[in-house]
Amino acid sequence: SGGKSESRGALIVLEGLDRSGKTSQSSKLLTYLEGLGHSAELWRFPDRSTNVGQMISMYLSNKSQLDDHTIHLLFSANRWEKRSLMETKLKTGTTLIVDRYSYSGVAFSSAKGLALEWCKAPEIGLLSPDLVLYLDIQPEKAAERGGYGGERYEQLEFQKKVAKCYQVLHDASWKIIDACQPIEDIEKQLQEIVLDCVMTCQKGKPLSNLWS
């Protein structure tokens, strides 16, 4: 046992408010894993490169208007269209570092007032992350970082609601990281947790589906 063909990659998700540092830390993690000789890729949701992703991008940049339920289902569809590729990559030994996933989907839509269970339903059956790194930052602190751009959700009052919605989604796969530490300190902390997760997956931890 332990042969190369049997070991799978890890599904590692970064979550957090806008400006919490997800993008910076994801790319550092990729460099770190590749440096150790692991096969790894950086993914992000929404994936704006697909047709569905382009509809989402138009919505986020306020170039189109969509009903709250409709955009929620598009975000979910954008994950579903990548599910089989995701499974193939993981099963052939590639670790995926994913910048936002189903938790963003549920947190942002439920922050608008949609029912939590309704928001979770279309995510059922997507692959369950082996690890969720939640970059924890107060919305006021996040807003101070370079200011928000012009995208739809980049407003302090809304981000406060999103922060509350994230809180009910925590489970055993989550690690809460203080995102107000210096970038290098967060980086070191994440490296340790991620390496541990990659090793556990290599040893044969089975893949599972949301939400279980």
Residues that bind ligand Z5A (CB under 6 A): 16, 18-24, 44-46, 60, 75, 100, 104-105, 108, 145-146, 153-154, 179, 183, 186
CA distances from 59 to 2, 55, 129, 211 (A): 46, 6, 27, 27
In sequence order, the 6+-apart residues with CB closer than 8 A to the CB of 147 are: none
- Shortest CB 42 distance to ligand Z5A, Å: 12
- Shortest CB 117 distance to ligand Z5A, Å: 16
Q: Is 153 helix (H, G, I), strand (E, B) or coil?
A: coil
- CB of 168 or CB of 183, closer to ligand Z5A: 183
- Shortest CB 159 distance to ligand Z5A, Å: 7
- CB of 8 or CB of 108, closer to ligand Z5A: 108
Task: Decide: 61 and 8 in contact? Cβ < 8 Å.
Answer: no
- CB of 69 or CB of 145, closer to ligand Z5A: 145
CA distances from 76 to 34, 67, 100, 191 (A): 29, 14, 12, 29
- CB of 92 or CB of 181, closer to ligand Z5A: 181
